[in-house]
A = this chain, B = another copy of it.
Amino acid sequence: MISRRNFLKTSAIAVPAASVSSLVVFANGAHQREPLKKSFLPVGMAGYTFVNYTIDQAIAIMNRVGITHLSVKDFHLPLDSSPETIREVIGKFNDHGIQVYTVGVIYMKSEAEVDRAFDYARRVGVNMIVGVPGYDLLGYTEKKVKETNIKIAIHNHGPEDKLYPGPKDVYDRINKMDKRMGLCLDIGHAFRAGTNLVKAVNEYAPRLFDLHIKDVTAGNAQGKAIEVGRGAIDFPSFIAALRKINYPGVCSLEFEKDMKDILPGVAESIGYLRGVMS
């Protein structure tokens, strides 16, 4: 039972304290593994979405909405985790039908931090890092890619990002480098940075390794996170572009609105993506 006081505190509408309510949010496992249409591209979750949630809560949410892929973030699996912790955390995700397909976003500001990221990815057992190495570390990163056969997907972070506002800022720096250097295209931040997303998908296709899917209210620095489908991004065109290039990766939702109460927005966003894909 939640207290009426707490209930009302977060509510603009006076909602009576009811024994029957939406509180069974992390409800039973029967929600999981519903059949999903084959036409759907693989939809995953960018771990940052769960910044205010425990691993168990994150799993329950992903099961509830039928998400099977995760880019795990360090607050759930720290970079200095012991082999035992890694086994435990990855095992828990796997036991609930969730594949950890990459790690990140990981920021790298020195060769030691690049080393640490690649060592972490190897120990976690993934073949890709979503990361942000400084310009001066791209050569060293390439060396590590060659050494480890672990790909790097460099993440763009919008107009405020001094290094990689949009995907062009990544692509132009890595397109002559090892083919395992690529992009994690964050479509919300890219759109806010003025990127034409369909053009970006087409131009950067061979280096498009991962996606952070979100919607934003406007294509500029003022754009704010919103449920996918309610914002300014043209998803039918974007999804069509992904299909056209046979995008082989995961479409990971990164939901950044209502971050202490994400389930409804995540569910709506995932539903919308599936609707567009169907």
Contact = CB atoms under 8 A, between A and B. Distances in A.
Nearest to A60: B13
Interface stretch (A33-41, A102-110, A130-138, A146-154): A33-41
A228 B273 CA distance: 13
A24 interface: yes
A107 to B, nearest CB: 24
A83 interface: no
Interface centre among A22, A60, A262, A273 (most CB of B within 10 A): A22
A227 interface: yes
Interface string A30-55: 11001111000000000000001110
Contacts of A27: 10-12, 258, 261
Interface in A108-157: none
B57 A15 contact: yes
B235 A278 contact: yes
Contact of A54 (B12, B15, B24, B235): B15
Interface size class of A (residues with CB under 8 A): 35 or more
A56 B16 contact: yes
A94 to B, nearest CB: 14
A260 interface: yes
A232 to B, nearest CB: 9
Contacts of A268: 65, 267-268, 270-271
A200 interface: no
Interface in A249-270: 258, 260-265, 267-270
Interface string A1-31: 1110011001111111010111111111111
A129 to B, nearest CB: 28
Contacts of A36: 230
A229 B60 contact: no
B1 A6 contact: yes
Contacts of A63: 13
Contact of A273 (B29, B261, B275): B275
Contact of A264 (B13, B64, B274): B64
A265 B31 CA distance: 10
Nearest to A12: B29
Contacts of A13: 26, 29, 56, 59-60, 63, 96
A268 B229 CA distance: 12
A247 interface: no
A66 interface: yes
A198 interface: no
Contacts of A61: 22
